[in-house]
Structure 1
């Protein structure tokens, strides 16, 4: 199995960006399929690393083909690879994402991209009641050194039914709960990249454990998940 990203990956994607048309892609499809095969191997191997400390039930590497039906940009191909790692639901919440793009645009992301409205309300109610534990987790130095600040869209003032004067309104008004970390091309193609990503993803677990506990219980702490 492949534990490194081939250097040819980025050179191919750079050439694809310069020649983003079906004719060029068809001529170079054999090379693409070989690179894609190795990249998928990397994602699958990373999934095995994650399963050493988590439970991943699905790995999805997204297709190179763009959906241009509702886009002004009609170029047919993506110029990056992206893949997600799904945790076993409903007991475990949150997800992992790895984005591979040349010119130092690669990154990893984790958290909650589009929480279901019921889940979002449950999270906000938890923060409204007591945000001490979540702040302790995301403000820990070791955590912040890897993941920095929490990111994501938010409402302007306060969600309906919540006070904009609440001490934890900065958390309550969020609609997404995302963490990202960027990587250079050199870092991505290094021999220890997979180990680094696996280690970084493992560091998010206290956040995932907290959110999973919140989303599988009611406000009284009673489990909502059938054993």
Structure 2
């Protein structure tokens, strides 16, 4: 199972015609592409189950609606111009740090994960962990294989040192982090390749130790291993 090039054609057309009128006229096209993405997502749930606890997780627990919530947004475009899904134990509403898959034309597709919108409590926990146990995190995110696939972290940092920490702390850059998120982007041709699912799962397994680290400090959750 792989994603068809027609999925990108539909999303590109939707980006150019993001109105309820156009979407209504092209609803059948949307349903065909949604079905393809849903089937791909179901396949990934099974493959993630090889190294994560996906017991009881179904399509509805992973997929996102294409309809945008425009109530508090200046952009009133009614539809997202991408397909997306998240994978974790318990599904996307579990609160756990998960694997996020984003499929969008123009080389904007990616697999990502990490500390994207942490609560103040989570930020405090993260900084305390960095203060006392930075080597564990650094051994993960600065390993040769991890850097090769996911590169540098994405996200915002404080301009000044957070309160309670010495400005000369050796881990100043990690402590200033407000977000610590990694992603690996894919060209459209890669997404439509029959081997894309295998490449995606390979990259997810490289991301896993970082998500395990965050889930351990935030939720006291032991890393899942197959029996």
Shorter-chain TM-score category?
0.7 to 0.9
Residue in 1 aligned with 2:40?
42
Cα-to-partner distance string for 1:150-181 (whole Å, 9 max, x where unaligned): 22222111112122221101111112221011
Give ranges in structure 2 of 5+ residues lacking alignment.
223-227
1:162 aligns to what SS in structure 2? coil
Alignment counterpart, residue 30 of structure 2, candidates 16, 22, 32: 32
Cα-to-partner distance string for 1:78-101 (whole Å, 9 max, x where unaligned): 111121113359x99421101111
Cα distance in 2, alignment partners of residues 53 and 190 from structure 1: 23
After TM superposition, list the pairs within 5 Å mapping 1:16-165 onto structure 2: 16-56=14-54, 57=57, 59-88=61-90, 93-165=96-168
1:146 aligns to what SS in structure 2? helix
Cα distance in 2, alignment partners of residues 182 and 75 from structure 1: 25
- Taking only aligned residues, the RMSD between alpha carbons, in angstroms, comes to 2.2
Residue in 2 aligned with 1:220?
none
Cα-to-partner distance string for 1:174-199 (whole Å, 9 max, x where unaligned): 12221011111100000011111111
Cα distance in 1, alignment partners of residues 142 and 185 from structure 2: 19
| TM-score, normalised relative to structure 2 | 0.87
Cα distance in 2, alignment partners of residues 177 and 88 from structure 1: 23
Structure 1 segments (4+ residues) deviating >3 Å? 56-59
Residue in 2 aligned with 1:5?
3
> Aligned in 2, Cα 1:63/1:140: closer, same or farther, shift over 3 Å?
same
Alignment counterpart, residue 169 of structure 1, candidates 164, 172, 178: 172
Cα-to-partner distance string for 1:50-93 (whole Å, 9 max, x where unaligned): 1101123464221111222222222211111121113359x994
* 2:113–2:211 Cα contact (<8 Å) kept: no
Residue in 1 aligned with 2:225?
none
> Aligned in 2, Cα 1:148/1:70: closer, same or farther, shift over 3 Å?
same
